[in-house]
Amino acid sequence: MPKFQAPRGTRDLLPAERSAFLRLEGIARDLATRYGYQPIETPLFEQSEVFERGVGAVTDVVEKELFRVQAGRGDQERERWALRPEPTAGLVRAYVQHGMQTLPQPVKLTLTGPMFRYDRPQAGRYRQFWQFDVEALGDPGPGIDAEIIELGSRFYATAGLTGVEVQLNSIGDGACRPAYIETLRAYFGRYRADLPELERARLETAPLRLLDSKDERMQPLIAAAPTITEHLCPACDAHFAGVRAHLEAVGITPRPAPRLVRGLDYYTRTAFEFHRPGAAGQQQALGGGGRYDGLVELLGGRPTPGIGFGLGLDRVILALAEQGAEPVAEAHPSVVVVGADPEDTVARLRVATMLRAGGLSARADLAARRLGKQLEGAARDGAHFAVICGDELAHDQVQLKDLQAGTQRRVELADLVRDIQRAEAQHRHGSVEA
């Protein structure tokens, strides 16, 4: 085994997998643009306090999973940093920092990139993973809530993933949640002696977190716990009904999930997750999000409503493979430039450079080997054409071999790009047999 390995819980995305990610990133970019989301990037690390305040100090993400960054000696005295476990807190920090509250609202932002959580690694759970994230700030809903959920659903459908369902809940707000939390504390309090250690501690600090405990022993208690939907105030109830009405208008029937509270503290009202029931690892969400009407204020801005989602790209790739989707085709050069004289790599490089400058994807065979071997390599590459540099080069001509049609002809160097483009276009339109 090699001495150096990618860190546990991380992996190298080799070309086939990276291509699959790039396809998803392309879909994300295209959909985000069509729905009016502007691209933004924030640093991969922030002051830890952004996450401690934003995500919440008493959450798994901050208590157990934060990658704290140690930098040059002395610096950590003044500032403490952490790798981002999720993008929302940093993005809201940027919204406040750059005064985006003065822009026409809502401000709709999107980001796709790596997140870091020091979680126990397993299939679909990594220490570095990728999210497609969108956030709409400044719109109290409920229409935008439904629009965002529909955007998430469309992402999966466009990626080719079938059977994805939306699980939907409302977790109330400052008016109704405190009473519910007391109900929850009383309920779980009856089982205090049976609670695992962490949950017993959280019964005092954050009883809501008990509902998203991953501990097996908690599952029967969670299943029988009182639900927040029975405790919503009239305003939250009306908002929740509004979200469902707007979802219905766009053809989405969510599955009610009255115990879904999500693992982050910033949520208010709408909370949702995307799942593929029946699939392996089904307890793992493909994506999730919700409304966070208190977060901007918590991070120093004026009170501003917000809602968004994060979709886990790694899990989409796993789910697509599980569903038996075709792997993403690897890119092939359309032209390989070969030569009759094994030693004359200068001519091959010069012609390939000319083809690439003309907009074609071309590879020069730069190994000093026989023409036959070079042509075998071109076929193995899946190239459509081989350009053969031979004696004709002295008269600015080459041989153009169509590897798919099995034909060959002499072409002026000056016409080469145009001739290849024409042949490719004809091929695409079906007038050349593949």
Query: Distance (Å, rounded) from C-alpha 132 to C-alpha 24?
Result: 9
Q: In whole angstroms, how close is the CB of 346 to ligand HAM at the nearest point?
A: 49
> Which of these, 124, 113, 126, 12, lies nearest to 67 by C-alpha position?
126
Q: Is 286 in the site for ligand HAM (CB under 6 A)?
A: yes
Residue 107 or 337: which CB sits closer to ligand HAM? 107
Residue 131 or 374: which CB sits closer to ligand HAM? 131
**How many residues bind to ligand HAM according to rule CB under 6 A?**
27
Q: Is 309 in the site for ligand HAM (CB under 6 A)?
A: yes
Q: In whole angstroms, how close is the CB of 16 to ligand HAM at the nearest point?
A: 19
Contacts to ligand HAM from residues 112-131, by CB under 6 A: 117, 119, 124-126, 129, 131
Q: How far apart are the first and last CA of the chain?
A: 44
Q: Strand 68-69 and strand 81-83: pairing?
A: antiparallel
Q: Would you state the structure tokens that stand for residue 377, as one six-digit string?
A: 């390599």
Q: Is 369 in the site for ligand HAM (CB under 6 A)?
A: no
Q: Is 315 in the site for ligand HAM (CB under 6 A)?
A: yes
Q: Is 199 in the site for ligand HAM (CB under 6 A)?
A: no
- One residue of 137, 285, 400, 416 binding ligand HAM per CB under 6 A: 285
- One residue of 288, 301, 305, 339 binding ligand HAM per CB under 6 A: 288
**Element spanning 308, H or E:** strand 306-312
Q: Would you state the structure tokens that stand for residue 345, as one six-digit string?
A: 């790599």
Q: Is 86 in the site for ligand HAM (CB under 6 A)?
A: yes
Q: In whole angstroms, how close is the CB of 314 to ligand HAM at the nearest point?
A: 5
Scanning 104-112, 281-289, 341-349, 368-376 for contacts with ligand HAM by CB under 6 A, the matching segment is 281-289
Query: Distance (Å, rounded) from C-alpha 58 to C-alpha 290?
Result: 19
Q: In whole angstroms, how close is the CB of 359 to ligand HAM at the nearest point?
A: 38
Q: In whole angstroms, how close is the CB of 177 to ligand HAM at the nearest point?
A: 17
Query: Distance (Å, rounded) from C-alpha 83 to C-alpha 66?
Result: 7
Q: Is 180 in the site for ligand HAM (CB under 6 A)?
A: no
Q: Is 54 in the site for ligand HAM (CB under 6 A)?
A: no
Q: Is 310 in the site for ligand HAM (CB under 6 A)?
A: yes
Cα 54 to the center of its chain, rounded Å = 21
Residue 276 or 384: which CB sits closer to ligand HAM? 276
Q: Under the rule (CB under 6 A), what is the footprint of ligand HAM? A: 86-88, 117, 119, 124-126, 129, 131, 133, 135, 263-264, 285-290, 292, 308-310, 312, 314-315
